[in-house]
Every structure is written in structure tokens, then in C-alpha cells.
Amino acid sequence: MVQYLALAFVAAFTAALVLAVLGIFAFLRPKRPNPTKLSPYECGVAAVTDAHDHRFSVRYYLLAVLFVVFDVETVFLFPWAVMYHHLALFGLIEMVIFLVILLVGYVYVWKRGALSWA
Amino acid sequence: MSPAVFDAVAMGVKIAVVWGAVLALGVPVLTWAERRVAGLIQDRPGPNRVGPMGFFQPLADAVKFFMKEDVVPQYADKVLHFAAPLIVFIPALSTFSVLPFGRSIPVTVGGTTREVPLVIADVNVGALVLFALTSLGVYGIVLAGWSSNSKYSLLGGLRSSAQIISYELAMGFAAVGVFLSAGSLRLQTIVEAQHAGIWNVVPQFVGCVIFVVAAFAETNRLPFDLAEADSELVGGFHTEYSSFRFGMFFMAEYANMVAASALIVTLYLGGWSLPGLALTGLVGGLLSVAIFAAKTAFLLFVFLWVRWTLPRFRYDQLMALGWKVFVPLSLLHLFYVAALVAVRAKA
Amino acid sequence: MSAVATPVGVSFAPLVERKFGDRAVPEGRPAHDVPTLAVAPEALHDLAVFLRDDPSTRFDLFVDLAAIDRQKLTGDLAPRDGRRFQASYLLYSTSRNEHLRVKATVPESDPTLPTLTDVWPAANWFEREAWDLMGLSFRGHPSLKRLLTHGGFVGHALRKDYEAGQRWLCTEEDILQTDLAAKTDVPEDVFETVTLNFGPSHPTTHGTLRVVFRVDGETIVAAEGECGYLHRCFEKMSETHTWQQVIPYTDRLNYCSPMINGNGYARAVERMLGVEVPPRARAVRVVLSEFSRIMDHLVCIGTNLVDLGALTNFWYAYQPREEIYSLLEACCGARLTSSYARIGGLSQDVPENFVEWSRSLIPKIRVQIDDVNGLITKNRIAVKRMRTGRVSKADAIAWGFTGPALRASGVGYDVRKDAPYDGYDEVDFDVPVMEDGDNYARYLVRMEEMRQSLRIIEQVLAKLPSGPIVTDDYRVALPPKAMVYNEMEGLIYHFKNVFEGIQVPAGESYSFIEGANGELGFHLVSDGSGFPYRVKVRPPCFPLFAAYERIVVGEMISDAVATLGTLNVIAGELDR
């Protein structure tokens, strides 16, 4: 537990330092806003449309969904890896079965073209 | 001195040393080295005005980051725009708390000698903590892209999320191989296993290559700097950032590089160990720190070297590489490692 | 000295006469000019289709459209029947290696011609330019908008009665973005598109180009390009300067290889004058032109690779460029704006160590080319990134490509080979041709062209003639100072040359050379005074950028960046 406290302490200390720098120098740095400066960058011309007006087409969303599925599967591998020495042959066979199922799904999505999205 | 006080003091010293080494030494020197190495590779001097060989250039940069006007776009989501660089920066610096930067050194206080392990937070799932922290940074980048309310930023943020779903799977699979052979997620154990046996890079070379490539992608470095891609997206996710908020992204990139190099060293290159050296006692302990630093420095040089050598991927090409090459390759590699460990356990 | 007007017919004249009667007649022309057909506006479109398709003509490449206001011309060139405006279409046949001018005149009251956009897609932007600057209207043009000036502009600037010096404030709304947002020719399955403005101030739009993309994710579904941000009225300014005074302006056209522009312009005027350039000047022009071509290609490849993320190559490419600039500086005193060419030769002789200096550059350039070659040519990331931006052979011709971009698409047209000038027929070199037409092919063609340029330089240097550097025809070139001070005749020549300028005989001429980006043409009209009546440049990258908006559709933003780089659009030349 102490170890995690140390981790938290480092994070908190970093945060405090950055916030302090942001705060202190806010008084020192210039602040001269104007409408052009505050407009989003559109390569030198006024933007006709706002970035938030749009629904951006995220064409790889299917891949993103697949990623979540596969990533969850990876999580199961971590405890298995740690206990592998104790599980011996049973562990090996079990995980081979698990991974083969994973592979079948993988081959399926590849064949269905989900991996070629561009 | 009671053990509790001793631990607390030791912890404080370690935090101060590591934190100082990274933020006050590692990052500034690295930003300087980046430009000097670029100059070396590109047949030009590089920065040479501020101090000898431009060594104090990072100081000048810091002053600039502090003193420049902080422009926040009018229609930006102010809260997220403020939070995004913090989400990138804080985890980037926190990762160092779980990395073992040396073996241990004996400290004698009041007649009793104790071994102080050279890692700040010696948690038994150190590797998981590390992965979690490094993955957090991507949220910052995606949020920075979205909150800026600029199309270029948004595209950069989207690319960043596309990137993480391309390499993280393979990265995880490759790392499992290391945990498998060490039988632990504790980084110090992984290093000790390599210290006693052989560096993981030898039996798990393919895994190491996959992991290194993924680490490049994790740190947004060329050839994977898609989210930034200045020639395409003008600056990508940080197009609308200036002053110290940009500085945080900038420093985080370099801190991430140090962390990634240190992690590769820990997982594959034997951490603080060197074959043939016992590394015990005070001298041994200090030597282990030096060995660790040297290995990390070498990998950092590789980071710079690659940046000035390779062009950038297109983001669907990166996804194809991740999903169609690295995922099956790392899975097969995992089978191989499992078999290897099983055979070794039998023998 | 005055070029004799010899009525040279065109080989297919009988066929044209049979089909079109007196609606299309070959015109007499001086020896230096391209063959000309005068056509009645109503027959223009039919003639265009005939010229493109007939096996005996096959003029498949639309080179240029020069609009001329003949209002102030006299004599033979004076407008007849009130037909004030002349449109000169320049065509080229890639299979028959022949140029042709088709000339149509229209009255001021109805300056309308049928559009040729449906015959040659390349005509699109050329017609827009003619509308913008000369007020010629084109019936059936898909979008006859202003091109080089803005929507708030009143009048047509290249008309002779347009008063220069008027100022028009640009207050219009940004129509380009709204136009594109309204475009409907987007695939139906695409439903979430975003308009993304790219340039004029973007890291990749080197110079001041602008494109608006409509993107689905990062895939471009529609695009529209725009130019004119760097329009500096080159053509209008030329009309108020003497023939010689135009030369400094030519440096600002393609500013990556300024020497070639000056040589091209000087050559065009020399041909109208019938002046011979001394052999030494010709040889030096070739050497420096080829060095300039190398510089241009180095800039193109270097910046293109920066856009792909490979910054190091940029420095490798710019190193020899700096060394070449030093050589140019030693020759003429300026690194970029050289103004070295003079009508009839060069402004001054090259330095004594010119040959050794040039020779010493060759191995240095080779090393740098090889370095870039080693880093990129077989790099899988680079090759994958550059296997994009494909332009088929048919498209390249239809869109009016010339130069490396055309050769990368499989057409080996190079003015240096196909219409040799300045002694290019006496040197041995190859014209690299690739079939793929993608960015990688354009990159490889440029790499090889640099090596070929080095070959040319070596050969020319080996037998660099001695002798004068400028013609001894003192009606064109200034006489030497000793003559000016000691001889009456010399003084008179000097005086007339300086005060009245070179007297170019009245007439019309099109001359072209191989610029770094393709066919660089100068369409000149002289009224016999000391000033050019009309100078029309045929900028090689103009059709390239016009086609850009079509090439990138279906590709990603990253590919669009790579494609813009290999097309090598130079804003100075594009906008003039």
C-alpha cells in the first residue's frame, strides 16, 4: 500500500508543480487577445464551419470496437502468464485453446474485411 | 532510527533523485540532444548560440514556454482544453516511480545496514501500472484534439486514437512473453530473472522488435508522429496550444521517450544488469544505476536516430501493419515463448 | 534581321479545307513561329474535336490559351471587322511531335467562344484565366469564375483600356468553401463529410496555394483548388517595360530555377529578332540551365520528403543547391534573382575558373543525390507513401501535363529532345520515362533527370567554346564601352538601345523550352515599338495544379500532401 502511496505522491507533486507554474506565470505573460488570434486555425482564412458543428466520420470505428474485444482478451493473459509456472502443461493447453478461439475470431474479422477500412 | 522513518526518508530521497533526474536532467538534455543529433545527421551545426554547443538552449526554451502568451481559442471547450495537457504530462512523469533504476544499495544508519531497493514504488504489478499510465496519455491527446474546436486538432486526436488501437494489442501480446518467462509482473523480478539467466532480447527477439516498434508508436515519434504530422495537420492535436500548455505536451513527449527506453531496457535488455557482474554492495549498486542509465541513453539515441532517418506512415498503413502483421506475429510469438518456457521447466 | 514572313502551310491543310472550307484557314507565319490556323468562332469547337481525333492531326495535348487584346495594334495585326480580341490556342501532338496554334477572333460586343473544356479538360483553368484577365467568355464552361483576381475585382486587367493602378478591395465572402460544401457529386454512401481548408497558409502548400477538401474521415471525396494569392501582374507589367527590362521579372516566375526562365524569354525574343546567340553564351546557358534544373528537382524532392516526414533529405538536397547558388553568384552577382540572360546572349562573361568550379560541383551533387537515393528509394515506408497520386497516361495528356509529371505517366515528351535548342541535339542524354504515373514515378523521374543533367553539363563543359558572350548586333546588345566612347556609331547604338529599347519587328511568336517543370512557353506579340505588346507565359505547373483537385479525390489527406509535393507547383509561376 505504501508503494502505491509513493506513486500517488509523485503524481500529486507533479500536478502541483505544473499548476503552480501555470498560475505564477499567468501574471507575467502577456495577454492581448483579439478575435483573429482566438479563432481556430484554418490556414489563413476564416472558417466557414465549426469543428464541433460536424459529425466527423470515424471510419475505423469497427476496428475500435474490435480492439476493445481483443484488448479484454489480453487482460486474461496477464494472470495466466504469472501463474504459468504453477499450471504447467494444463496451463499451456488451456491457453492454446483460448488463443485458438481468439485466432478464429481474428481470421473471421479479417476475412469479412473489417481490417481493411481505408 | 525506526524502520518506518528510515523507509520514509529513503523513499523521499529516491523520489527527489528520480524526479530531478528526469525533469531537470533527462528531458532538457534530451531536447538539446535531439537537435544536436539532428544537426549531426543532417550535416549542419544545430543549436550553438546559447552556452557551449548550445547546451543551455533548453533553458531558453523553458523561459519562452513560461513567458509566451497563452492563447485559448474562443470556442474551445475551456475545461478540457485546460485538462488535456495535464492528462498527458502527469502520467508521463509518474511512470518513473515503478521503474527499477538499479539493483539496491546498502545503507548503514546507526549501526544497522539495510538494502535499499532502487525503485520508488516496488509494486508487484509494476508492469500493469506502467502500461496503464502510458495509455492514459492518449486520452490527453484525444481530448486536446477535440476540445480545441479546430478541424486540424480534431483530425490529430482521431489519428491518435486510431494509432493506439493499432499497436496496443501487439504490444500487450509481446510483453506477455516477458511476464511468462519471468513468471511475474513485478519489474524488479523481471530484471533479476534476466540478471540470473539471459537477457530477454535473445530468446524473444521478435517480441522485442514488436515491442520497440510499438513503443515508438506509443511515444508519437517518427515514423509514427501521425497525431502531430506538422506537414499534414499543421501540428495536429496541439495546433491550438501555446505557451506552457504546449510546453507540457513537449516535455511529456520527451519524458515518455525516457520512460519507453527505460521500459525496453527493463523488459528486454536486462535492466540494470550486465553479464558477468555481480553488482552487490554500494559500488555494485551505484554501478547498476550507471549501467541502467547508459542502456537507456543508448536507446534514446536510437529514438533520435530513427526520427531523422525514416518518413512517416499513413495512419491506415500503420493500422494495417498493427493488425495484419504485428497481431498475428505477436500471437505466434506468444505460443513460441510458452512452449519455450514449458520445455525449460521440464529440463 | 527582320524575320521574313513565309507562308508555311500545315501538313493537314487540305483536309482542314475540305472539312471546314473558309471557316478554318492556315495563316502565313514567320519561320520562327508555330503553324497557325485561323478559325471562325462558330467552327472552333468542331475544329477542336477534329484536331484532337483525326489520325492525321492528333493534337491531344492542350498547351496554352493566350488571350490578346488587339485594340492598339496597327497594320497587319490590327483588328479586322471590329474583332478586338484574339484567343490563341496552342496545341501539341504527343504522337506527331508538332505544335499548332488555333486562332479565333471575337468582337468586343460579344466576346464569346465555345468552351473547349469538354475536348481538352486542361482548357478549364486556361479559359477561366482568359475570362478573368481579358474578359473573354466561354459558352458552356462548367464554372467560369475569376481565377487570379478576386470576386471584388472590376474589369479585366489585361485589356489595353484597363487603367492600371486601380485598387479593388477584396471583401467577398469565402465562396470556395461554400461552393464545395454545396457540391453534390459525392458518393451516396458518404454522409458525414467535413469541409477542410488547406492553404494558403499551410506547411505543405509551399508558396501560396489553396485547396479546399471535403473529407470523409480523412478520405477526400471532393476538392477544389484556387490560385492567385501570389499574382504579381507579370504580364501586365511587361507591357510597360522594354523587352530587355522584362528579364528581371522572369526570375520571379519559377523562383526555384530562375535561370531557365530568363533563357526561355531571351530566346523567344531572339527568335523574333532573328538574332544569333554566340556559341559560348549558348553553352553557358545550357550549363546553368541544367544546374538550375538540378536545383529545382532538389527543392522539389527535398520539400516533398519533408512533407512525408523525412526531414533529413531536405538538408541533403539543399546542400548542393547552396553550392550551385554560389556558382551562379560568381557568374552574375545574384544567387536567386540572377537576371543573367540578355537578349542576344548573357550580361557578362563567366568567371575564369568557371569550368573547374562547375566540374568540382558535379561529384558533390552526385554524393548528395546518392545519399537521398540510399535513404528513400528502397525505403518501404517511403515507397508505400509514394505509391499514390496516380495519373494515367490518358489523363496526363488530357490535363495538359508536360515535363517530369508527363514523363512519369509514360509520355517521353521533352522539349530538349523533341525540339532541340541551344545545342541540346549535340549532347548525349536520356529522357527517363516511367509508366506508373504515381508519386513514386515522379520522384524517380526527377532523380534520374538530375543525373542526366550532370551528364549534359559534363559534355558541354568539355568543349565550352571561347569567344564573345553576347551578340555583336548592336541594335540588340549594348556595344562595348570602348566603342561607345570612341566611335560615333557606337554612341548612337548605345543611345538608341538605352532610350528606345530593342525594336522587335511587329508580329506574333510562340517559343518554348524545357523548364524544370515542363514546357515553358513565351507567347509574344510585338507592335514594332520598343515595348512588348503582350507577353503570355505558358507556365508548366498551371495545368498541373488545375488537375490536382481531380487527382486527390479518393485519396487521404496524407496522400494529397505527397501529391502536391511531386507535382512541384511553384506559386510564382502559377500566378505570375
pLDDT value at residue B54: 85
Cβ pairs bridging A and C (under 8 Å) = 52
| Domains contained in chain A, number | 1
Read out DSSP for A30-92? -----HHHHSPP-TTS--SS-GGGS----TTHHHHHHHHHHHHHHHHHHHHHHHHHHHHHHHH
CA distance C563 to chain B (A): 12
Which residue from C174, C194, C219 is facing A45, i.e. has the nearest CB? Answer: C174
List CB contacts (< 8 A) between A51 and chain B.
Answer: 148-151, 153-154
**Beta pairing class for B112-117 and B104-109:** antiparallel
- Tell me which residue in A7, A29, A41 faces B68 most closely, judged by beta carbons: A29
Out of A10, A37, A117, the one facing B15 most closely (by C-beta) is A10
Report CB contact under 8 Å: B231, C196.
no
Touching check for C319 and chain B: CB below 8 Å? Answer: yes
Residue A55 and residue C202: Cβ atoms within 8 Å?
Answer: no
Mean local confidence (pLDDT), B301-327: 88
The Cα–Cα gap between B282 and B291 comes to 14
List the chains bordering chain B where 3 or more Cβ pairs fall under 8 Å: A, C
Specify the range with the lowest mean pLDDT, choosing from B115-119, B135-139, C40-44, C130-134. B115-119
Please give the pLDDT value at position A118. Answer: 58
Is residue A49 left, alpha or beta, with left meaning phi > 0 and alpha meaning psi from -120 to 50? beta
CB contact under 8 A, A44 and C193: no
Specify the pLDDT at position C4.
Answer: 37
pLDDT band of C226, cuts 50, 70, 90: confident
C-alpha cell at B154: 480534431
In a domain, A67, yes or no: yes
Is the CB of C204 less than 8 angstroms away from the CB of B314?
A: no
Sign of CA dihedral B187, B189, B192, B196: negative
Q: Which residues of B touch A38 (CB under 8 A)?
A: 71-74
A78 lies in which domain range? 1-112
Question: Are C190 and A57 within 8 A, CB to CB?
Answer: yes
Whether C340 and C332 have beta carbons less than 8 Å apart is answered as yes
Residue A82 lies in a domain: yes
Please tell me the distance from the alpha carbon of residue B240 to that of residue B157, in angstroms, as a whole number. Answer: 12
Query: Is residue A12 domain-resident?
Result: yes
Task: Give the angle B126-B131-B135 at the CA atoms, nearest 5°.
Answer: 150
pLDDT at C475: 82
For A7-29, letters b (16+ CB in 10 Å) and e give bebbbebbeeebeebbeebeeee
Could you report the per-residue pLDDT of B244-267, keeping only the tens digit for each? 889 888 888 898 999 999 999 999
Residue C266 Cα, gap to closest chain A Cα (Å):
38
Residue C204: closest C-alpha in chain A:
A43
Q: CB distance C197–A42 less than 8 Å?
A: yes
Question: CB-based contact (8 Å) between B8 and chain C?
Answer: no
The pLDDT of residue C536 is: 92
Q: Is C173 exposed, middle or buried (0-12, 13-18, 19+ CB in 10 A)?
A: exposed
* Amino acid letter for position C274: G
With beta carbons under 8 A apart, name residues in chain B contacting A70. Answer: 169, 327
The three grid cell numbers given for residue B222, joined into one nine-digit string: 517518427
- Nearest-10 Cα torsion for C370, C376, C377, C380: 150
Lowest mean pLDDT among B284-288, C24-28, C480-484, C503-507: C24-28
Taking the CA atoms of residue B159, residue B162, residue B164 and residue B170 in that order, the dihedral angle to the nearest 10 degrees is -140
Listed in sequence order, the residues at least 6 apart from C492 whose beta carbon sits closer than 8 Å to its beta carbon are none
Average pLDDT, chain C: 86
Amino acid at position C259, single letter? M
Cα distance between residue B199 and residue B333, in whole Å: 17
- Per-residue pLDDT averaged across C527-539, rounded? 89
Is A118 part of a structural domain of the chain?
no
Q: Residue A50 and residue B128: Cβ atoms within 8 Å?
A: no
Q: Which of A43, A52, A54, A58 to mutate to test the interface with C (most CBs of C within 10 A)?
A: A43
Q: How far apart are CA A69 and CA A67, in angstroms?
A: 5
Question: Mean pLDDT across the stretch B19-32?
Answer: 85
The tens digit of pLDDT for each residue in C285-334 reads: 999 999 999 999 999 999 899 888 888 888 888 888 988 999 999 988 88
- A contact chains, 3+ CB pairs < 8 A: B, C
Cα–Cα separations (whole angstroms), residue B343 to A14, B180, B339: 46, 13, 6
Q: What mean pLDDT comes out for the span C385-391?
A: 89
The residue of chain A with its CA nearest to that of B235 is A41
User: Taking CA atoms, what residue in C is nearest to B228?
Assistant: C309
- Residue of A45, A58, A116, A117 for testing the chain C interface, max C β-carbons within 10 Å: A45
CB contact under 8 A, A82 and B152: no
CB contact under 8 A, B183 and A81: yes
Chain A residues close to C174, C-beta within 8 Å: 45-46, 48
Q: Is the Cβ pair A55, C199 closer than 8 Å?
A: no
Residue range C513-537: mean pLDDT, rounded: 89
Phi and psi dihedrals of C101, rounded to 5? -110, 135
Terminal Cα distance for chain B, rounded: 47
Across the interface, whether the CB atoms of C557 and B155 are under 8 A apart is answered yes
Average pLDDT, chain B: 86
Distance CA C15, CA C23 (A): 13
Q: How many CB atoms lie within 10 A of CB C330?
A: 13
Predicted pLDDT at C7:
42
pLDDT in tens, C440-461: 999 999 999 999 999 999 999 9
A64: CATH: 1.20.58.1610
C316 interaction partners in chain B (CB closer than 8 Å): 42-43
Which pTM does this prediction carry? Answer: 0.88
What is the pLDDT confidence band of residue C543, given thresholds at 50, 70 and 90? very high
Residues of B in contact with A40 (CB under 8 A): 73, 75-76, 148-151, 153, 240
- Given a cut of 60, is residue C384 above it in pLDDT? yes
Position B7 confidence tier, pLDDT thresholds 50, 70, 90: confident
Contacts of A6 in chain B (CB under 8 A): 11, 15, 97, 120-121
Look at residue C1 and tell me whether its pLDDT is greater than 50: no
**Which residues, other chains included, contact C105 with Cβ-Cβ below 8 Å and sequence gap of 6+?**
C38, C41, C70, C79, C80, C83, C84, C85, C86, C87
Tell me the mean pLDDT in the region C237-242.
88
Lowest-pLDDT range of C14-28, C361-375, C507-521: C14-28
Q: Given an 8 Å threshold on Cβ–Cβ distance, is A48 in contact with C177?
A: yes
A75 domain residue, yes or no: yes
Provide the pLDDT for residue A117. 67
Residue C180 or C33, more confident: C33
Instruction: Say if C194 is an interface residue toward chain A (CB within 8 Å).
Output: yes
- Below-70 pLDDT ranges, chain A: 47-55, 117-118
Residue A107, in any domain of the structure:
yes
Rounded to 5, what percent of chain C is helix, strand, coil? 45, 15, 40
Are the C-beta atoms of residues A79 and A94 closer than 8 Å to each other?
A: no
Which of A3, A78, A117 shows the shortest C-beta gap to B179? Answer: A78
Q: How far apart are CA C556 and CA A118, in angstroms?
A: 9
CA of C556 vs chain A CAs: smallest distance (Å): 9
User: Which residues in chain B have their CB less than 8 angstroms from residue A77's CB?
Assistant: 172-173, 176, 334
Quote the minimal CA–CA distance from C150 to chain A in Å.
Answer: 14
Amino acid at C189: D
Q: Which of B343, B346, B341 is nearest to B179 (CA)?
A: B341
Q: List b or e across C431-443, with b for residues whose CB sees 16 or more CB atoms inside 10 angstroms.
A: bbbbebbbbbbbb
Cβ-nearest to B15 among A6, A67, A81: A6
Distance from the A91 Cα atom to the nearest Cα atom in chain C, whole angstroms: 40
Q: Which of C108, A8, C344 is nearest to B97 (CA)?
A: A8
**C478 pLDDT exceeds 70?**
yes
pLDDT at C190: 56
Please name the residues between 84 and 113 in chain A that touch chain B, using a CB distance below 8 Å. 84-85, 88-89, 92, 95-96, 99, 102-103, 106, 110
Contact B71 A42 (CB under 8 A): no
Looking at residue C9, its pLDDT comes to 54
Residue of B nearest to A92 (CA): B338
pLDDT for C5 = 38
Contact C217 A56 (CB under 8 A): yes
pLDDT of residue B302: 92
Q: What is the pLDDT of residue B1?
A: 62
* Average of per-residue pLDDT across C190-201: 76
What number is the average pLDDT over the span B20-45?
Answer: 87
A27 located within any domain: yes
Residue A117 lies in a domain: no
Residue A23 contacts residue B99 (beta carbons within 8 Å) = no
Contact B175, B127 (CB under 8 A): yes
Burial class of residue C466, CB neighbours in 10 A (0-12, 13-18, 19+): exposed
Is A115 in CB contact (< 8 Å) with chain B? yes
Which member of A14, A31, A70 has the closest CB to residue B94?
A: A14
Of C376, C384, C557, the CB nearest to B232: C557
Q: How far apart are CA B279 and CA B122, in angstroms?
A: 19
| C-beta separation of C172 from C150 below 8 A | yes
